[in-house]
Structure formats: structure tokens, C-alpha cells
């Protein structure tokens, strides 16, 4: 599992690592939904397009996670599989991808924690020892 929950007072914080920025976005989204439910219980039956942008990789990560979280909140979806289809840097960063999952079913999906929002607090994205590393905090 290329992420770990790290200590943070009152909220939840994650440290995520990957070989590429694309994989970093995927693993950050998996960590977020692993906090909400059991990923293995969520079938990737429906595909939802996700687009995000940011002036730098921190803003991009925040916008990516917030967009996925928004789709969870508004559409009642749980996601277990994510794919970045395109990541490009022009004047800023843009990502286009998909989140795969299914509507929440309380009989099949254990509910762990409600996430209120992804915050910018202590958020970072950087290269460390040849890999990409991100840290982020979610408001519970």
C-alpha cells in the first residue's frame, strides 16, 4: 500500500508516494476513500470523469481530491479505482481522469469516517529520494 496515515490532531493526514505524478494522484485518491470505506467492498461498476487544474502540483492535488470528494458527496458514490488519462503542464497543471465505483449501499459498504473537506493545511508535493511524495490533511 503506497500510503500511510500520519499523526494529526483532530483530523486525518496522509503521506502518499509513487514513481510518477499520475500515480501519486491515483494513490492519494485511494487513501482518501480507504478512510471513508473498505476499498475491497466497492465494485468499480460506474465510471465518472474527473477534471482538475492548479497553478502547481499542490493546487492540482487539492483540486483533484476535492472534485472526487464532491462527486462522492453529491452523487452518493463510493470509488475504489482511479485512473489518470492525461496530465499536462502548460501555464499550470491540468489532469483528466476517471474514478470508478458504485453508489453507496449501507448493506455492503462499511462506513468508516465522514470526510468534510480536503484542506490545504500542511499540503505538499515534492520529489524525495527519486520518487514523488505528497502529504495532505482532511477535515473530519
| 11 annotated to a ligand binding site | yes
Question: Which residues are within 8 A (CB) of 123 and not within 5 positions of it... i.e. 6 or more apart?
Answer: 58, 61, 62, 134, 135, 136, 137
| 139 annotated to a ligand binding site | yes
| 139's grid cell | 477535515
| 140 annotated to a ligand binding site | yes
d(CA 137, CA 117): 9
Please list the ranges in the chain whose pLDDT falls under 70: 1, 4-5, 7-10
DSSP state, residue 31: H
Q: Which pTM value belongs to this model?
A: 0.92
d(CA 47, CA 99): 6
- The domains located in the chain, with CATH, are 3-139 (3.55.10.10)
The pLDDT tens digits for 85-96 are: 999 999 999 999
Amino acid at each position: 500500500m503506497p500510503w500511510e496515515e500520519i499523526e494529526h490532531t483532530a483530523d486525518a493526514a496522509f503521506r502518499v508516494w509513487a514513481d510518477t505524478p499520475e500515480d501519486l494522484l491515483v494513490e492519494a485518491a485511494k487513501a482518501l476513500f480507504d478512510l471513508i470505506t473498505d476499498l475491497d467492498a466497492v465494485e468499480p461498476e460506474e465510471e465518472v470523469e474527473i477534471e482538475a487544474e492548479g497553478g502547481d502540483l499542490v493546487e492540482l492535488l487539492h483540486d483533484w481530491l476535492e472534485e472526487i470528494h464532491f462527486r462522492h458527496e453529491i452523487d452518493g458514490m463510493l470509488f475504489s479505482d482511479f485512473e489518470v488519462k492525461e496530465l499536462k503542464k502548460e501555464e499550470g497543471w491540468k489532469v483528466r481522469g476517471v474514478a470508478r465505483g458504485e453508489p453507496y449501499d449501507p448493506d455492503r459498504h462499511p462506513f468508516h469516517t465522514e470526510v468534510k473537506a480536503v484542506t490545504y493545511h500542511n499540503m505538499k508535493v515534492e520529489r524525495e529520494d527519486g520518487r514523488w511524495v505528497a502529504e495532505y490533511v482532511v477535515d473530519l
